[in-house]
Amino acid sequence: MQAATKSVVSEELRARFARAKNVVVLTGAGVSAESGVPTFRGAGKTAVWKGMPFDVISSGAKLDRDLPAVWEWFNYRRGVLRTLKPNPAHEAIARWQDRFERFTLVTQNVDGLHHAAGSRNVIELHGSVWRARCLTCNSRSDLRASEVVAGVPSCLDCGGVMRPDVVLFGEMLPRGVFEQAAMWAESCDLCFVVGTSAVVYPAAAIPEIARAAGAYVIEVNPERTPLSNICDETLMGKAGEILPLIECTVVIENSKD
């Protein structure tokens, strides 16, 4: 194992990046924080919305008791996110999808910034604040294209009430989404873990699965995490600086050949 500063891209990483065929990237809140996305969590049990902590207003139990209140909270969150833009980390990751034969992006984020940067076929482990899901027929609706900015949206297919298409506290991941991510992790050459504390499971298992299958695992984070000890390299710094740097150094090396 080795650690590298944010200004250093090792020869080993350059070589592996240049010849990789199958790459998996797992992203967390740290990537979006560089775009100004707030965590919305507060500190500990601090109230973040009308006297309620994050894990109360964003819980499955609260949704069952008071769906309009949950929608008021998520409508507010979308209003905050609406003006924010992808940063260089999102943009670099979007470029990578056309660089490798197989590229899989797995994110814990629900803000939609990867899509806004041009990423396709994103595996969203925790859903998206920009979608609603019908509680009756399970149909989904794109809220970016909707005129609904307040209240509880109705399903266009069956008329039923909808909920945010986000995994709330106390809920399981959507069926099959983790299994899909794990399948690609088992066959990748390189696995990047970017901007995540690596303590939330099952998402944190993705790099562990990749490592066990023989992949080279690179962590990009401002500080070390519980995952650092199993990574082949830890690049400490901002993802918006490091990911474009990795890409740039490989291009420079290739131009010398």
| Helix (H), strand (E) at residue 55 | helix 54-57
Determine contact, residues 71/235, Cβ cutoff 8 Å: no
List of residues 6+ apart from 139 with CB closer than 8 A: 133, 155, 156, 157, 158
Tokens of 108: 């814990």
What 8-state DSSP symbol labels residue 229? G
Q: Is 126 a catalytic residue?
A: yes
Handedness of CA 20, 111, 88, 7 (dihedral sign): negative
Among the listed residues 90, 114, 115, 126, the single catalytic one is 126
Q: H or E segment at 75? A: helix 67-81
The set of catalytic residues is 126
